[in-house]
Structure 1
Amino acid sequence: MNDTPIRSMNTARAWTIDLAAWAVIGAILGAVGPFGSFFNDSLPIRLAYWMTLALVSGAVIGVGVRWAWPIARQRSTPTWVWVPILGVAITVPLGLFARVFASGFWPAVRDNVGLIEWFGQTLLVEMIFLAAYVAAHARAAELRSSEASMAEGPRILDRLPPRLGRDLLCLQMEDHYVRLHTSEGSVLVLTPLRAAVTQVGAIQGMQVHRSWWVARHAVEGVVRDGRNLRLRLISGLEAPVARSKVAELRAAGWPLGEA
């Protein structure tokens, strides 16, 4: 996890979006009336209760996540560890607030719902909301990072020496290295193939074999050897195609000829 989620969350716009989303969630809960609240009172009262509770919970969760996430990252604490710990920690104050707040609307709550049941329900709800909140912000940060990488251009080209130009034809795995082939030659770099493929950016291509990624523009023809298939590239190289990839390549419109 990088710093991107936290930086993007610490803005007025992010807080406004968060609280607006919590208000909508509160309105939905007010309409549905979970945990028996549907039978407690009219719709306006339920909306007032659940929207207030959702906004307070959202504010506490938002502050808690913004505080805990950077610390967890610094200590390399996985998400599945720190999120439940934070969930348990915020359940106590939120549970107390919710119980006092609910008692103001419906005094019978104190007698009809025990503390263990009350805090158990609170923990369940807060854990679901907290996990969804963290997952949503992590996904949003991932998409922003991906868009930024695309805008910056293919990072893999930065690994090429000037003498090889910028016309990337294919990537070929060799043990713990990847050979970058261009129309001018090749160079060996220390990186996993999976990592190299994520850095090709907007260059159209596909991993055609567990050891090969090929740029679509580099394909000049197809070589068949029985049931085996190889792509002939403009540089003269031939890249093997895994049988499991043939259908995927055809669906993407690659020129493989007749089956």
Structure 2
Amino acid sequence: MLSGLRNTLRHVLRPATLLPWFMFSLAATVTGPFNTLALLDDLPRAVYWAGIVGGAMVLSHLLSQAIFLWIPDRSSRMFDLARVCAMVVVFSPLAYGWTRIMIPARVAHSPSMAKIGLFVALIGTVVHISKRILRGQDPFVRQTDGALTLGFPEPETPEVEATPEPRLMRRLPEGATGPVLRLSASDHFVEVVLAEGAHSLRMRFTDAIDEMDGIEGYCSHRSHWVTRAAIAGVERDGAKIALRLVNGDEIPVSRTYKPQLEEAGIL
């Protein structure tokens, strides 16, 4: 639980999270959805939308971690659907309560619970569809030779050098195929990220690493282990360093494990 909260705090305080929060809050303050342009003055409107956008981003990350325990493949459409539904069920009442605080119910044309729930569902759906389009995973629209076409594209698998199958693969569901890109610990579970998706195993992190016998890999953080073949590059943001993997994941590098990665010629 504490590990999940720490991960959420790190996620929220990243520039990549704070900038969208500021931009979306500013856009909503200026445009005034839900008739807030007429119902609220400038400062209260800015506070209202900063709370709505910030709360949505934090809760979405927490729900994503919870749903991962049920649906361990973050790239699946079922994961997206569960995330949208969870946001409607959990976030809509919170947004409605925040609205009642900022905009009393007696004010004419103040948004109802149903309207807020519909708004949350629509925004969540648009966000997830947009992500799939940008990643080339959209089930209806894709690019072929520079032109937009309709259809259901085959999922793309990152190209990773073929390696022997480690013992850890025997613990994964039937049909799961490697290679393993990284292992990440979260409480009593280990997230095993493959080129084709991710799976969650209830086991000790050290045992999972031991069962990656024959595979060259390194701990970059006390909660993260990555295979060398999966490392595509290094990202630096001031003193912060992260490993960029072939599937786009960015894994933090802590000061404890930095010397080991430098010695291996990765940093």
TM range (shorter): 0.3 to 0.5
Instruction: Specify the structure having the higher radius of gyration (Cα).
Output: 1
Question: Going by fraction, where is helix more abundant, 1 or 2?
Answer: 1
TM-score (norm: length of structure 2): 0.41
TM-score, length-normalised on structure 1? 0.42
